């Protein structure tokens, strides 16, 4: 079986790799090709381009990249039409993938979209395009499949692979010793996996850390970086604010260990917030985009929360800060969490529920959905 795939960023690469690894157990000669990241590359994937090509945040920002992305999408469409895969899987990145899926489906190639676009939050009319683009939608949130059922679009809730694969039961003290942490209080600072996120959030997160150091000189910080390029950019920002001696900037393979070792997390909104919640660490989520992107987003987004843990639990478990905030806001909330043991215990107790909701053996289910679609006449 030959799989064509496009993953939009690091989290998509992780999802695609989990699916493909499970698929290989069932079909050992399965191959995969397309736009992938390091995880799928490690599994023998044929990388036509890196997912960095699609890693653009905001609403206005991607508009500037439209000519380049249209050209890339046409190139992929032509290549797969000439040499079709058995199945195409678009992982997230709906603005790019849905049109690609529509083109490939028209050409008779079976398509799966993995991770539903947030149609429950904004631009619900996208269901019309989804219906024309996908043969199967794989949903990672429980309420999404019900929406597709209403529109007669084949969909399945498979849970989230992270709920089963994340190493949540590792010993905090052992991890700290392994990372060489000596401070009595450790805060994980996660400013994102994209260059644009680092530039938007990095300075605010570092200034927050600086305020935290002023109130408690026993605090240190750890920041696992998604790539060497991101690491270099973030290091420059840390040194600009003369905070280098208080920061351990670790490699991407230390991501989960860094969170487990910490007492709390300050993170860019995204999959990292879900990971922190699954690892049961009190977390603050923040996000900034350009003013023009935010203006459009504010008009379109209809949901009360923007982080997955809060959406799943339907409550404000993770304090959320979007656009109009500064380091003082983050510092005050972080100080409150660190100084209130009962609050931290309450947050952790609620985080345990998230694992139960999302644990559905997702990789296994996703692989079987691929096989079922392949075998469907």
pLDDT in tens, 77-132: 999 999 999 999 999 999 899 999 999 999 999 999 999 998 766 667 789 999 99
Nearest to 358 by CA among 282, 280, 274: 274
For residues 164 and 179, give the distance between their C-alpha atoms in angstroms, rounded to a whole number.
Answer: 24
Q: 219-224 and 31-36: which strand pairing?
A: unpaired
Residues 331, 211: contact at Cβ < 8 Å? yes
For the chain, give the percent of residues with pLDDT over 70. 92
DSSP per residue over 25-70, as a string?
A: HH-TT-EEEEEE-HHHHHTT-EEEEEGGGG---SSHHHHHTHHHHH
For residue 226, the model assigns a pLDDT of 82
Q: Tell me the mean pLDDT in the region 154-173.
A: 90
CATH class for domain 2-159+360-375? alpha beta
Give the number of other CB atoms < 10 A from CB of residue 322.
17
For 181, the 3-state DSSP assignment is: coil
Q: Tell me the mean pLDDT in the region 27-38.
A: 96
- CA–chain centroid gap for 322, Å, is 17
Predicted confidence band of residue 195 (pLDDT cuts 50, 70, 90): confident
Element (H, E) at 90: strand 87-91
Q: Which fold has domain 172-358?
A: Rossmann fold (3.40.50)
Q: Which of 72-86, 169-183, 225-239, 250-264 has the highest mean pLDDT?
A: 72-86
Whether residue 348 is predicted with pLDDT greater than 70 in this model: the reply is yes
For residues 286 and 324, give the distance between their C-alpha atoms in angstroms, rounded to a whole number.
Answer: 10
Tell me, what DSSP letter sits at residue 92? S
pLDDT in tens, 252-299: 678 999 999 999 999 999 889 999 999 999 999 998 866 666 555 565
Q: What residue spans in the chain does CATH classification 3.40.50.2000 cover?
A: 2-159+360-375, 172-358
Residues 40, 272: contact at Cβ < 8 Å? no
Q: Which residue has the tokens 């060489």?
A: 180
For residues 291 and 92, give the distance between their C-alpha atoms in angstroms, rounded to a whole number.
Answer: 24
């Amino acid at each position: 079986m030959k799989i064509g795939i496009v993953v939009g960023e690091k989290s998509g690469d992780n999802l695609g790799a989990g699916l493909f690894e499970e698929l290989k157990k069932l079909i050992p000669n399965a191959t995969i090709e397309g736009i992938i990241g390091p995880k799928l590359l490690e599994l023998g994937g044929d990388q036509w381009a890196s997912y960095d090509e699609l890693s653009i945040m905001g609403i206005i920002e991607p508009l500037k990249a439209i000519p380049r992305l249209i050209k890339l999408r046409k190139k992929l469409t032509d290549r797969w039409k000439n040499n079709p895969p058995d199945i195409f899987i678009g992982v997230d990145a709906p603005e790019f993938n849905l049109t690609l899926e529509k083109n490939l489906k028209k050409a008779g190639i079976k398509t799966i979209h993995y991770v539903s676009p947030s149609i429950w939050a904004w631009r619900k009319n996208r269901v019309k395009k989804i219906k024309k683009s996908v043969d199967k939608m794989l949903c990672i949130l429980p309420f999404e499949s019900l929406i597709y059922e209403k529109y007669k679009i084949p969909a399945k809730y498979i849970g989230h692979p992270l709920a089963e694969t994340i190493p949540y039961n590792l010993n905090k003290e052992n991890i700290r010793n392994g990372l060489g942490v000596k401070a009595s209080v450790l805060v994980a600072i996660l400013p994102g996996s994209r260059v644009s996120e680092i530039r938007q959030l990095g300075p605010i997160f570092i200034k927050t850390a600086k305020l935290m150091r002023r109130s408690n000189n026993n605090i240190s910080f750890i920041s696992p970086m998604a790539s060497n390029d991101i690491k270099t950019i973030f290091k420059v920002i840390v040194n600009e604010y003369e905070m280098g001696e208080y920061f351990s900037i670790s490699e991407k393979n230390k991501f989960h260990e860094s969170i487990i070792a910490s007492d709390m997390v300050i993170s860019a909104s995204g999959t990292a917030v879900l990971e922190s919640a699954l690892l049961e660490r009190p977390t603050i989520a923040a996000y900034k985009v350009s003013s023009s992107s935010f203006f459009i987003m504010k008009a379109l987004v209809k949901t009360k929360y923007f982080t997955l843990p809060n959406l799943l639990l339907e409550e404000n478990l993770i304090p959320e800060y979007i656009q109009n905030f500064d380091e003082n806001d983050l510092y005050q909330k972080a100080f409150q969490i660190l100084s209130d043991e009962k609050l931290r215990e309450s947050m952790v107790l609620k985080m345990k529920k998230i694992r139960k909701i999302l644990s559905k053996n997702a990789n296994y289910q996703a692989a079987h959905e691929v096989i079922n679609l392949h075998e469907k006449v």
